Structure 1
Amino acid sequence: MWVEDWTNEAICRKSTPDELFVRGAEQNKVKQMCQGCPVRTECLAEALDNQIEWGVWGGMTERERRALLRRRPEESWREVLQSARAQHAAAVV
């Protein structure tokens, strides 16, 4: 199920921007926080569809997101990630 108002469910919702918009090795700490987030996929889709340039979103750094966008620039990432989530859920059952 896709969560429309995902920010209320995000693990990082109580973090300060300074904790989330970091550089270098500090990004790995933020990415670890994302691993257990229930709305990681929604967060990532938001960043990709809106081409957000800074920070860690959905467990990916800006460099990682740019690489995805270069490979598939015209995609609706929400649709791609929703479909992938549905396929994974069907395979698990």
Structure 2
Amino acid sequence: MADISRLPGASSHFWDWQLRGSCREADSALFFHPAGESGAARAVREQEAKAVCADCPVRRECLRHALRTREPYGVWGGLTEEERHGLLARHPRRFTAAVA
């Protein structure tokens, strides 16, 4: 039988911030663009997603996660994938720490 006392503790504390996100009450489609979406439709959807993020109590944690893990899609922490990519390009070493 395995000695579970030697196992590391629960790691849920690393992700608990997600339970407090304002986006939990929103349709996830708001944060991720469908294939082929562009122009005004995309701009409107992104602004609506960012409005949800604006007052989110865990916005910083969400953005930190997206930058550290190089989240490739969606609005995270109030920034689109293009905005995050630009931030990472300007500050490549700033967001290299492992998710913790």
**TM-score strictly above 0.5:** yes
Distance 1:76 1:56 in 2: 17
Gaps of 5+ in 2: 1-12
* Structure 1 position 72 matched with structure 2 position 72: no
Aligned amino acid, residue 12 of structure 1 = C
Distance 2:96 2:32 in 1: 22
Could you give the per-residue CA deviations for residues 17-63 of structure 1, whole angstroms, max 9, x where no partner exists?
A: 32221252111110011000000000000000000010000000011
Q: Give matches, 1:7-86, under 5 Å.
A: 7-22=18-33, 24-25=42-43, 26-76=45-95
Q: Identity, % of aligned pairs?
A: 39
Give the TM-score, by structure 2 length.
0.68
1:76 deviation in Å? 3.2
Give the TM-score, by structure 1 length.
0.72
Distance 1:63 1:69 in 2: 10
Aligned amino acid, residue 74 of structure 1 = R
Q: Of Structure 1 and Structure 2, which has the larger fraction of its residues in helix?
A: 1
Report the structure number with the largest CA radius of gyration. Answer: 2
